Amino acid sequence: MLDILRKRRSIRKYQERPIEPEKIETLKEGLLRSPSAKNLKSWEFVFVENPETIKKLAQVRGASSSFLAGAPLAIVVMGNEQTTNVWVEDASLAAMIGQLVATSIGLGSCWIQIRNRDHSPELSAEDYVRNLLGIPEPYRVLCILAVGYPAEEKKPIPKGELPYNKIHLEKF
Ligand SMILES: Cc1cc2nc3c(=O)[nH]c(=O)nc-3n(C[C@H](O)[C@H](O)[C@H](O)COP(=O)(O)O)c2cc1C
């Protein structure tokens, strides 16, 4: 596990190589094994492989999302806010599990924040994605994971550079 955690870095450049169907299947299984509050499974996912749709999704947040255009796969991570008031936690855990599974099978990924972000002064990032993919209420969009074979190398952060000051012993 620590090996996967060391390897996981945000990858924003991808090879043109497509992701094999077996690996897409592994990602799906991993996501669906995510825990959820009261086991209500409030999360939902849209897997997008259509390059034209991916290019449109990449325009959701300007420079913060433009790199998605080069990815062979976008996973849109959503939650049902009517199912639970902790859908954000459920969906965040699933997104992170998706990123760790991606790392474990040689793929790179990056989280693109959608919730509480804007597409333009008139349109939220969430409504932009909602309109593009036909996502109905009460589903909320948390983030998009850009996934693909890495075309950039990022080294693990050396252990000595980790912020151990954030770990408090016995009391804050
Ligand atoms: C909640 C959250 C939102 C993020 N949003 C974006 C984003 O919109 N665009 C982006 O390029 N990276 C985004 N990231 C990736 C972070 O920038 C990245 O995790 C951080 O810089 C640490 O780098 P590392 O992932 O390589 O360890 C997000 C990460 C998290 C956890």
Q: What does the pLDDT read at residue 15? A: 98
Q: CA–CA separation, 23 vs 141, rounded Å?
A: 24
Is any ligand 1 atom within 6 A of the Cβ of residue 64? yes
Centre of ligand 1 to C-alpha 109, Å, is 10
Instruction: Tell me, using a 6 A CB cutoff, whether residue 124 lines ligand 1.
Output: no
> Residue 116: CB within 6 Å of ligand 1?
no
- Radius of gyration in angstroms for the set of CA atoms belonging to the chain, rounded to a whole number: 17
Give the domain ranges of the chain: 2-166
- CA dihedral for 161, 7, 65, 83, sign (positive or negative): negative
Sign, CA dihedral 143-46-122-88, equals: negative
> From the first residue on, what is the mean pLDDT of each consecutive set of 10 residues in the chain (172 residues)?
98 98 98 98 98 98 98 98 98 98 98 98 98 98 99 98 98 98
Grouping H, G, I as helix, E, B as strand and the rest as coil, residue 63 is helix
pLDDT digits (tens, 9 = 90+) for 22-32: 999 999 999 99
Residue 170 alpha carbon to ligand 1 centre in Å: 30
Which residue, judged by its Cα, is nearest atom 30 of ligand 1?
A: 111
The arrangement of secondary structure in 2-166, i.e. its CATH architecture, is 3-Layer(aba) Sandwich (3.40)
